[in-house]
């Protein structure tokens, strides 16, 4: 468990994301909350969003936030039979998984805001779905598949397929990086890009370049003819 702080306040007055990651399947829940939420409110969210879906965890690793250090929280977990563990400054690897997920979450949210514009809370559920459906190299599958034992069936969303688009996604490296199939003229460019550098292709008639048929000679050659004078220059001697 961890929190993402210093977020813009949404219309529903949310300014915090509660990140909860399962250590085995790597599946994650991103819960929008407020800094001033009481422990009772957080406990109710924990029961409704985590325990209701995944039963009571055997143990929890979290950093030493005052909320998790409180007597109320420790007594609640003791009653549920959950063992509490805390990360320390001398053992950062204990919460390294949540830190990695938070970095991915921030990158995905930043991409959504740049692409669609609006409140981060509006896209949080979609970001959670995208993360849980993304391939994880550590478990050799997506968290959704590890959690439910089957692959998630989703419709394929893409641009207008009838329009030519040379920049096709051929492989997803991780949740924030894609490998593109670039045209030959861009073969010297590294073909892996961060999601923040990508934009959805939108059909535009001006992108289609008209071409005329070329008349081939019997020897499979063709004659070049001037089409347009692009510039003029007069030199006086």
Whole-angstrom distance, CA of residue 130 vs CA of residue 22: 16
Whole-angstrom distance, CA of residue 61 vs CA of residue 23: 9
DSSP state of 209: P
107 and 176 in contact (C-beta within 8 Å)? Answer: yes
The token duo for 85 is 């563990």
Phi and psi based region of residue 198 (left: phi greater than 0; alpha: psi -120 to 50; beta: remaining): beta
Average pLDDT over residues 103-112: 83
> In the prediction, which pLDDT does 115 show?
67
- What's the fold here for domain 2-132? Nucleotidyltransferase; domain 5 (3.30.420)
Count how many residues are written for the chain: 237
Helix (H, G, I), strand (E, B) or coil at 180: strand
Supply the mean pLDDT for the chain: 80
> In the prediction, which pLDDT does 161 show?
31
Domain ranges of the chain: 2-132, 164-200
DSSP state of 50: I
Share of the chain above pLDDT 90, in %: 23
**Has residue 20 got a pLDDT over 90?**
yes
pLDDT tens for 198-228 read 777 777 777 777 777 777 788 888 888 788 8
Average pLDDT over residues 49-61: 91
Whole-angstrom distance, CA of residue 169 vs CA of residue 182: 9
The token duo for 112 is 């959504």
């Amino acid at each position: 468990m961890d929190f993402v702080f210093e977020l813009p306040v949404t219309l529903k007055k949310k300014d915090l994301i509660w990140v909860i990651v399962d250590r085995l399947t790597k599946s994650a829940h991103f819960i929008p909350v407020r800094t001033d939420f009481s422990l009772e409110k957080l406990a109710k969210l924990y029961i409704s969003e985590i325990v209701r879906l995944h039963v009571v965890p055997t143990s929890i690793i979290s950093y030493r936030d005052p909320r998790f250090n409180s007597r109320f929280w420790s007594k609640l977990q003791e009653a549920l039979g959950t063992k509490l563990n805390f990360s320390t400054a001398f053992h950062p690897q204990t919460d390294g998984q949540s830190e990695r997920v938070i970095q991915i979450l921030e990158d995905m949210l930043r991409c959504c805001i740049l692409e669609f514009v609006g409140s981060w809370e509006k896209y949080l559920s979609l970001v959670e779905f995208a993360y849980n459906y993304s391939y994880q190299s550590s478990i050799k599958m997506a968290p959704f598949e590890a959690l439910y034992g089957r692959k998630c069936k989703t419709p394929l969303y893409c641009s207008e397929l009838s329009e030519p688009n040379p920049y096709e996604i051929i492989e997803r490296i991780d949740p924030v990086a894609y490998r593109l199939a670039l045209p030959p003229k861009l073969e010297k460019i590294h073909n892996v890009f961060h999601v923040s550098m990508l934009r959805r292709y939108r059909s535009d008639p001006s992108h289609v370049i008209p071409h005329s048929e070329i008349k081939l000679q019997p020897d499979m050659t063709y004659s070049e003819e001037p089409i347009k004078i692009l510039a003029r220059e007069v030199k006086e001697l």
